[in-house]
Chain A
Amino acid sequence: MDQTDRMGLGVAVCAHVALLAAMVFGLFVSTERITKSEPISVSLVGEIAEVSTAPDAIQEESAPPAAAQVEPAPPAEPPPAPTPVMKFEKPVEKPQIKPVEKPVKRDAPPLVKTAVKKVPVKPALAKVAAAATKSGKGTTPARPGGLSKSFEDSINNVGKAPGAGKAVGTPAAKSGAEVKRSVTALLGPQIQRRVESCTPTGIELDRIITTVTLSLDQSGKLLNVSYGGQTGVNDSNRPQADPLKQCILQSVRAASPYRGLDAEYHEVWKSHSMRIKARG
């Protein structure tokens, strides 16, 4: 290898190093851009997937002033916050904009999908809770047609749940999850009383997690329960897997009708999934 060859080789090596450095730098720049961008919360929560992800301000600006279409709320003090937010519509199944089926008993814009999409859940819940507090009865509903006590209790307890209060996603998305959680907190104990009498025992039973989805009408009556599968089944707990499944399905049916659910939020819980684990 003569001097020319060595020079050529050196130039080639330098060029490759420079190219590699440029690529690495480009990679870092790209990563930095991602971290700098405003996080966008994408919520894949079935029934409420497309709703309540926009900040409050936008809702106020764009909510259609359709008070005439809504039954006036009964006189109540203090004036309740507009809470059409809980009327979540599934866009795929109900693509057309339409008023909600049930009149809202308050001064609120109609529960149309375009409005719903932009209304956060939590502020509304917070206002309702504040109204209840002002009534001097703690979590007692402040007015007819308000939250039932048990439902409101469960919502209030949401903040005490592990992980609550963490800044994850937008407030609206978090509220949707919280409401789901509160519904689970309401339904769980009602099912538990039944499950306890039929759950099998065995080693590693607590590794089995059974998923069920409840279809409920507005009164809390079970219309259907569907089995969503089990995880954690192994050679040791396999004998218990099917009896556990049957026990859970039977208990879900027997516990109907479910108490404490507020019909006003039926769109939230009309199809409600839960994962159930029995500690053996």
Chain B
Amino acid sequence: MKRHTLAGKFIALLALLLMPLAAHAQTPTLPAEDEPELVEFDTAKTRSIAVPALVAPNSADTAAGNTTTLGRQIAEVISADLRASGVFETSGPGGLREITLAEVTAPQFDYWKGRNVEQLVEGFVRVGGDGNLTVGCYLYDVGNGNEVTRLGFNVPPRDWRRAAHKCADAIYSKLTGEAPFFDSRIAYIAETGPKGKRVKRLAIMDSDGANHRFITNGQSTALTPRFSPNYKSILYLSYVDGNPRIYVYDIDGGRQRLITQSRNPTFAPRWSPDGQTILYSMAIAGNTDVYKVSASGSGTPVKLTSSPGIDVGGSFSPDGRQIVFESDRSGSQQIYVMGADGSNQRRISFGSGRYATPEWSPRADLIAYTRIAGDFRVGTMRPDGSGERLLTDSWQDEAPTWAPNGRVIQFFRTAKGSGKTSIWQVDLTGANERKLPTPVDGSDPSWGPVLP
């Protein structure tokens, strides 16, 4: 004991002697005298971009309509996509003059400068010998008078909207640095009927609301859909026999199968990034834990959590090595992270209120969640729990899902009183909060990856 005391004193003395050195090491370094001056600019919130109708040099009829009409429709989709991103203030094709084919490669920059256009999209559409459409898409910087990028797409006439989304994606990516996301699809729950007796059907649509399709007929309630990474199937929760069970729905075949044969309630399904594993939660005698099982249906489910209370699976990290989930093991609903094998479980949320529905960003840098503290709000934090930011401020916003590029978050909003639900999206900066057009009320959105 005495030896320990002496040793302690010696260490203390050593620490005292070394303290000045440590203090010196922590002295902030003054900026170098020759460090260049800092210039700070405010960035423009939106950029003006004009999208005149694409030129159809030899107007021809296709299964999707006349190419002249398609040229205008493609420009409309490009314009709408870019406007919806919140980054651009678009004009056209309505209200803009028609351009000639020669202008596609030699724009009249002075003309567009006079209309305060910063960026210009021009292009053409024509039918090839194989009956497919060739869509040319050119982006110009009007201020600097130069071409920024050009792309061409060869698509069957029925896929003309995809060509438009691809063009919009290319422009968006070039000007923002972000990965593309317009050419993607969304699964969601379409809701109809009075409050308290809602009919909930599984539905899918393009990222802009087009090509809407109902998957289930509403005889049994559907919840929490998730597209598989290859878009061939959808995981979702269904109350076929009154109990919540997870099914995989084959989109092309129109068939579905149970993920597990257990009679216990299963819910909160999520795909692994490679589509080989399914994460889900199962309640047994009041205790809910997180499990994973092979997507093929073979093999035995692996239990990943074992704490008393409710552990509900969230989602895999993009590299598939970690899982974020929610648990009330601390006494309140909070966000936890663990290894994909259930190891190293640790809490990352410590704010007031409760946290639910965590969803890992495809960019890996953030986790989106629902914060419950009075109202329900959607926010993000880093995987270590730092940098918490709330993006929405309404009565009830919940269940965030990421755009494939990790820049935009969708969620659903429930109206106070009526209980009507709608799908919204917001930019990661908190700007450009907007409602998505759906034919009926919508909830539980799930954004799929960019289409292959």
Question: Is the beta-carbon distance between A243 and B175 smaller than 8 angstroms?
Answer: yes
Q: Are A199 and B144 in contact (CB under 8 A)?
A: no
* Known contacts A196-B44, A197-B44, A250-B144; A239 and B33 CB within 8 A of each other: no
Instruction: Determine whether A156 belongs to the interface, using a CB cutoff of 8 Å to chain B.
Output: no
Q: Give Cα A180–Cα B35 distance, bound, in whole angstroms.
A: 10
Output the least CB separation between B421 and chain A (Å): 28
Shortest CB distance B306–A (Å): 32
Q: Residues of B contacting A273 with CB < 8 Å?
A: 36
Q: For the complex, what is the distance from the CA of A274 to the CA of B39, rounded to whole Å?
A: 7
Q: What is the number of residues of chain B that contact chain A, defined by CB distance less than 8 Å? A: 36
Q: With A194-B143, A203-B428 known to touch, is A239 a contact of B177 (CB < 8 Å)?
A: yes
Which residue from chain B places its CB closest to the CB of A205 in the assembled complex? B43
Interface status of A58 (Cβ within 8 A of chain B): no
Contact A239 B176 (CB under 8 A): yes
In the complex, the chain A residue whose C-beta lies closest to that of B39 is A188
Which of A38-46, A114-122, A123-131 participates in binding chain B?
A: A38-46
Q: Which of A202, A235, A278 contacts B41 (CB 8 A)?
A: A278
Query: Is A54 located at the chain interface by the 8 A CB criterion?
Result: no
Q: Which residues of B contact A242 (CB under 8 A)?
A: 177
B46 to chain A, nearest CB (A): 9
Closest to B146 in A: A250
- With A239-B176, A243-B175, A278-B41 already in contact, the answer to whether A201 and B143 are too (CB < 8 A) is no
Tell me if A276 counts as interface (CB < 8 A to partner B): yes
**Could you say which of A44, A181, A194 contacts B37, with CB atoms under 8 Å apart?**
A181
Interface of chain B: mostly helix, strand, loop or mixed = loop
- CB-CB nearest in chain A for B87: A201
Chain A residues with CB under 8 A of B427: 201
Q: Give bound CA distance, A261 to B144, whole Å.
A: 23
Q: Which residues of B contact A244 (CB under 8 A)?
A: 177
Main secondary structure of the interface of A (DSSP, over half): mixed
- Cα A68 to Cα B248 in complex, Å, equals 95
- At the interface, yes or no: A266 with Cβ under 8 Å from chain B? no
Contact in complex: B176, A202 (CB < 8 Å): yes
Is A198 positioned at the interface, with any CB of B under 8 Å from its CB? yes
A243 near B177: Cβ-Cβ < 8 Å: yes
Given contacts A240-B177, A243-B175, A250-B144, contact A201 B41 (CB under 8 A): no
Contacts of B252 in A (CB 8 A): none
Provide the residues of chain B in CB contact with A236, threshold 8 Å: 363, 365-366
Name the residue of chain A whose CB is nearest to the CB of B383.
Answer: A235
Closest residue of chain B to A239, judged by CB? B177
**Which one of B35, B39, B177, B429 has the highest number of Cβ atoms from chain A below 10 Å of its Cβ?**
B39
Minimum distance in angstroms from A280 CB to a CB of chain B: 5
Digitize A25-57: 1 where CB-to-B-CB distance is under 8 Å, 0 elsewhere: 000000000000000001111100100000000
Chain B's closest residue to A242 (CB) is: B177
Tell me whether A199 and B143 are in contact (CB under 8 A). no
Q: B279: shortest Cβ distance to chain A, in Å?
A: 23
Cβ-defined partner of A275 (8 Å) among B36, B176, B178: B36
Which of A181, A185, A239, A279 lies in contact with B43, CB distance below 8 A? Answer: A279
Q: Is A195 an interface residue (CB 8 A)?
A: yes
Instruction: State A44–B177 Cα separation when bound (angstroms).
Output: 36
Of B34, B40, B365, B429, the residue contacting A235 (CB under 8 A) is: B365
Q: Beyond A43-B34, A184-B39, A276-B39, is A239–B429 a contact (Cβ under 8 Å)? A: no
CB-CB < 8 A to A198: which residues of B?
Answer: 47, 118, 141, 175
A241 contacts partner chain B, Cβ-Cβ < 8 Å: yes
Looking at the assembled complex, report how far the CB atom of B411 sits from the nearest CB atom of chain A, in whole angstroms. Answer: 17
CA distance A242 to B365 in the complex (A): 18
Give min CB distance, A182 to chain B, whole Å.
9
Q: How far is the CA of A267 from the CA of B357 in the complex (A)?
A: 61
Determine if B175 and A240 form an interchain contact, defined as CB atoms under 8 angstroms apart.
no
> How near does chain B come to A238, taking the closest CB pair, in angstroms?
8
Query: Interface residue count for A (Cβ, 8 Å)?
Result: 49
A202 and B34 contact, CB distance less than 8 A? no
Knowing A188-B39, A211-B36, A277-B41, the reply to whether A197 touches B47 (Cβ < 8 A) is: yes
Does A191 belong to the interface (CB within 8 Å)?
yes
A192 at the interface (CB under 8 A from B): yes
Is the beta-carbon distance between B143 and A254 smaller than 8 angstroms? yes
Contact pick for B428, options A169, A200, A202, CB 8 Å: A202
User: With A and B bound together, what is the CA distance between A49 and B179 in angstroms?
Assistant: 45
B23 at the A interface (CB under 8 A): no
Check: A100 CB closer than 8 A to any chain B CB.
no
Minimum C-beta distance from B102 to chain A (A)? 25
Question: Chain B's nearest CB lies how many Å from the CB of A191?
Answer: 7
Nearest chain A CB to B413's CB is how many angstroms away? 22
Q: Which residue of B lies closest to A206 (CB)?
A: B40
Does chain A have a CB within 8 A of B241? no
Query: Using Cβ atoms and an 8 Å threshold, which residues of chain A touch B130?
Result: none
Residues of A3-26 contacting chain B, CB below 8 A: none
A184 to B39, CA, bound (A): 8
Query: Any chain B CB within 8 A of the CB of A209?
Result: yes
Nearest-CB residue, chain B, relative to A236: B365
Chain A residues 169 to 187 lying within 8 A of chain B, measured CB to CB, are 169, 173, 177, 180-181, 184-185
- Name the residue among A43, A195, A213 with the largest chain B CB count within 10 angstroms: A195
Task: State whether the Cβ of B212 lies closer than 8 Å to any Cβ in chain A.
Answer: no
Residues on B with C-beta less than 8 A from A184 are 36-37, 39
Within 8 A of A (CB), among B393-445: 407, 427-429, 431
- Chain A nearest Cβ from B284, distance in angstroms: 38
State which residues 125-153 of B face A: CB under 8 Å: 141, 143-144
Instruction: Tell me if B32 is interfacial: C-beta within 8 Å of chain A.
Output: yes
**B197 near A: Cβ within 8 Å?**
no
CB–CB B38/A239 < 8 A = no
Q: Which residue of A lies closest to B145 (CB)?
A: A254
List 29 A-B pairs, Cβ < 8 Å.
Answer: A42-B33, A44-B32, A45-B33, A46-B34, A173-B33, A180-B37, A184-B37, A184-B39, A185-B37, A188-B39, A192-B39, A196-B43, A198-B175, A199-B41, A200-B43, A200-B175, A200-B178, A202-B407, A203-B428, A239-B177, A239-B178, A242-B177, A254-B144, A274-B39, A275-B35, A275-B38, A277-B38, A279-B43, A280-B429
- Listed from nearest, the 10 A-B pairs whose CB atoms lie closest are A273-B36, A235-B365, A243-B177, A184-B37, A199-B43, A45-B34, A239-B177, A188-B39, A275-B38, A197-B118
